[in-house]
Structure 1
Amino acid sequence: MSTITRKKTIILVSPNSQYGVSQYFVIDLSAELKKLGFNVLIVSPTVFNKKLTTFLADSTLYFIFGMNGWGFESLSKHILNKTLNVPFIAYLLDHPLYHSNRIDFNISSNRFIVSCVDLNHLKDLETFFKGNFQTAFIPQGAKLPSNLLKNRLPMEKRPIPLLFAGSYMDENLYRKEWNNHILSKVFDEISERAIYQNKDSVLLTANQVFAEKGLPFGIPEDKVLIYYLNQIDLFIRAKRRREVLETVAPLNITIYNEKWSYLKKLGALVKPSINYAELLRILSQTKITLNILPNYVYGGHERIFNSLLSGSVCFSDRNEFLDNNFQNKREILLYNLNNTKMITDTLTYYLNQNNLLANIVRNGQQKVMKEHTWRQRAKTLLKEVGKNYTLPIQ
């Protein structure tokens, strides 16, 4: 009698998120893992906690993946007591400081893997936290529905010249958080140093400023300082976003978020917010998609990959990851945050060059299809898990 081999199971823990972005990441990752031969379950943190005993007793369970680390709190005792028999991967879309209130990065475990979308986030983990666990660099990925892949408009027929679809951020809301703090001038200096550079994380910049002033730097123990560093990071993101959008508003840019309505007076076309699925459809109608990175030092964003896959040239602020992975003006268009003339001149020129845009996007699509889809990310994830854990399926 032949033996039937049961598929190994992977559990993906995923909460709700703004515009459904992280849910789509999980759905896309799940689809690729299924193609690779796994049984995949997507559960909410609540369901995961409720059924934890059942999940852990499943003999087919291979590993647990927590989007933004969700699931860690349910598993923390097992991780600390070394009773977790399968790996738990905390996949973080933001800097670990944003998750340090839920996830203990000072623990030691050979069943705990932290994956970041920015390589410098991992460096910060190693420098400032005391844990001993496996780390992985797995950026976000791209995937388009098959109908959009088949029906991408040629460049000359795309009705939207320039697009931005990021959320609204008010820098003043973050800045006022430390306005009356005893270290407000120190926090201002950290912000000023970090605002236009793309080599160091906010955490590393803060450490340097504190050291220069002879101040104790209490990371990771000082939860109050962590809070203010997160506010500084959000302030930087918001200010960068506002300045770039005010620069490009006169260039007939379409912005899908009504909170940016004040930019109408500068020439922008502002529309209501759209969800992730609708954004993918809109990208296939767009010539150039503006990207403003969320303060990544060495990492990419899904909007970069999805815009190129959709046939829209991505115009992004540069960092070392993009410089190393894409050829500027051949596979992508890059700009410097502190050079407004470069931003407007580049866009003004390329918006009138359909043939050049078509060539760039053709090359960019090839790069993304080869290196930056969720298919590649799923394989990288399995490779990272397999480093310290035997892969059950050959």
Structure 2
Amino acid sequence: MKKAIICINGVETLDFFSKQIKEELEKRKIKVFGLDLKNLKNSLKKMQKFIEPRQTTLITFNFEGLEREEYIYNEKNKRYVWQELKVICINIVVDHPYYYYDRLNDLIEDFSADNYFDNYLHVSIDKKHKCYMKQYYKIIKNNEFLPLAGTKIFNEEDHGSEYQNTKVKCDENKNIKIKDRKIDIVFAGNYTPEYEFEKNINWINEEYAEFYRDIIETLKEKTDKTFEEIAHKKCVKTLGNIKDEDFINVMNKMIFIDLYIRNYYRGKAVKEIVMSDHKIVVIGKGWEKLKKNIPCDKWKNIKHIKQTNTEECLKLIADAKISLNVMPWFKDGAHDRVFSSILNGAVCLTDSSKYLEKELKNEEGVIYFKLNEEKNIGEIIDKYDDSRLQKIVDDGNKKVIEKHRWNKRTEKIIEMEEKLRENSKS
């Protein structure tokens, strides 16, 4: 890879990931240009001077720069500037493909005309997502799996949040020691209560509502199954055989079920922690809506901090003993929150996945719990004092530093790009 383009001033979390990759690329003497999504007209002029045809690669997240944006996309000839200037496109998609049904259809229309998929790589952060792409989007032939990485936020001189703003003694990884941390448990993420999804469940008629509720209840029973596995069985049972193109359209119409189930388990996990008299800091929108489900004398165990940026979330995690994670229904992948928590010295209390269990055994930076056994979370937490938590995070840190930081992910991206470039020539 000689030159790379990343997108900036888009979605905050994606900007954060792009920044980490940019830093790693520049360490390797690869020139990087930041395409300003808020000022595309002026930024595009500079980018066109930067690009060397066939020597430049776009590394983007969630289709940023591939959404038919003005100036990047020519409506008349249905082509992107990437096609005109022979730029390889690596698209790292951090959500399930069914969230991008329209984007994928547009991309197929735009890239099929000149067979530009030879120069396009679709990267999934869960192996099940990759399988979905291979099964339902066969025209997109270049598919890879690469989970997000963890990010360490503090350097040796910079420790502090509203909780911990004085100099403290750090461990060998330059993290605040568990015994000196001011937050017992932290969770970073928004919350939407189940009742807010009722309008989605009932949007057609009662027959459809029963169908949706059946899927939801089955997902609660079979927490090891993916949404698409359960949904496909229910569709076949109800409708008979269903064509692939119809099924992926149906999945896109039912993404509210994915949002329902992940929020359902987020709420349950936080509630059980609070009910077992453990204190937790929750960061994000919507948590005040959980109050109606929790007795007043238990609500005092929650401190709610409004939604903030990724860096501020990591600062709070770096002051916490335990960082709660509830997977966004990843069954063979991992959330970056797991790796970032460990790198910043917090034990990650999380549900598991097939991939994650291979990478980190229980008590190697993580403590696993089962989604349908949340009532045991309080008892699980009670088992661990500060010294045990310190040993767990120390053991996990060694593995995460070795395998799950952005330097390793960037190396893999470079390898993928070289392979794609070589294959596109043949």
- TM tier relative to shorter chain: 0.7 to 0.9
2:52 partner letter: S
Match of 1:31 among 7, 23, 45: 23
Q: How does 1:188-267 map to 2 (within 5 A)?
A: 188-215=213-240, 217=242, 219-220=244-245, 225-250=250-275, 251-257=278-284, 259-261=286-288, 262=291, 265=296, 266-267=298-299
Q: Decide whether the 8 Å contact of 2:125 with 2:333 is kept in 1.
A: yes
SS at match of 2:281: strand
Where does residue 4 of structure 1 map in the other structure?
none
Closer, same or farther in 2 for the Cα pair 1:329/1:252, shift >3 Å? same
In structure 2, the CA distance between the partners of 1:173 and 1:151, relative to structure 1 (3 Å rule), is same
* Residue 144 (str. 1) matches residue 152 (str. 2): yes
Distance 1:361 1:95, change over 3 A: same
Tell me the residue number matched to 1:185: 210
- The corresponding residue for 2:123 is 115
Identity of aligned residues (%): 21
1:361 aligns with 2:393: yes
The aligned counterpart of 1:154 is 177
Whichever residue aligns with residue 62 of structure 1, its letter is: T
SS of residue matched to 2:131: helix
The answer to whether the Cα contact below 8 Å between 2:232 and 2:247 also exists between their aligned partners in 1 is no
Aligned to 1:59: 52
Change (3 A) 1:35 1:165: same
Select 1:324's aligned residue among 349, 354, 358.
358
Equivalent of 2:402, from 350, 370, 384?
Answer: 370
Alignment partner of 1:135 is 2:143? yes
CA deviation map 1:309-348 (0-9, x unaligned): 1110000011111111101023310000001243221112
Structure 1 residue ranges without an equivalent (≥5): 1-6
| Structure 2 CA distance for partners of 1:264 and 1:361, relative to 1, 3 Å | farther
Distance 1:41 1:308 in 2: 31
1-side partners of 2:149 and 2:371: how far apart? 24
* TM-score, reference length from structure 1: 0.87
C-alpha distance in 2 between matches for 1:277 and 1:47: 24
Displacement after TM superposition at 1:78 (Å): 4.2
* Counterpart residue identity of residue 31, structure 1: E
Amino acid aligned to 2:146: I
Matched to 1:152, the amino acid is: N
Q: Structure 2 CA distance, aligned partners of 1:276 and 1:270?
A: 18
Give the Å deviation of 1:256: 2.4
1:9 aligns with 2:3: yes
State the distance in 1 between where 2:19 and 2:295 align: 36
TM-score normalised to the size of structure 2?
0.81
Alpha-carbon distance change, 286 to 140 in structure 1, aligned in 2, over 3 angstroms:
same
Q: Structure 2: how far apart are the matches of 1:66 and 1:139?
A: 14
Which amino acid in 1 is paired with 2:305? P
Closer/same/farther in 2, CA of residues 260 and 138 from structure 1, 3 Å limit: same
Partner amino acid, structure 2, of 1:320? K
Q: Deviations over 1:220-275 (max 9, x none)?
A: 45786244321111111111111111111131122224632315833432222232
Distance in 2 between residues matched to 1:223 and 1:288, nearest whole Å: 38
Q: Which string of whole-angstrom CA distances, capped at 9 and with x for unpartnered residues, describes residues 155-206 of structure 1?
A: 1111111111211222222242131424222222222222353443212321
Kept in 2: contact 1:14–1:70 (CA 8 A): no
RMSD: 2.8
Give the match's secondary structure for 1:101. helix
* Aligned residue in 1 for 2:333: 299
CA distance in 2, matches of 1:110, 1:264: 58
Question: Does the CA contact (< 8 Å) of 1:22 and 1:67 recur in 2?
Answer: yes
With over 3 angstroms needed to count, the CA separation of the structure-2 counterparts of 1:31 and 1:81, relative to structure 1, is closer
CA apart distance, 1:293: 0.8
Q: CA deviation at 1:83?
A: 5.5
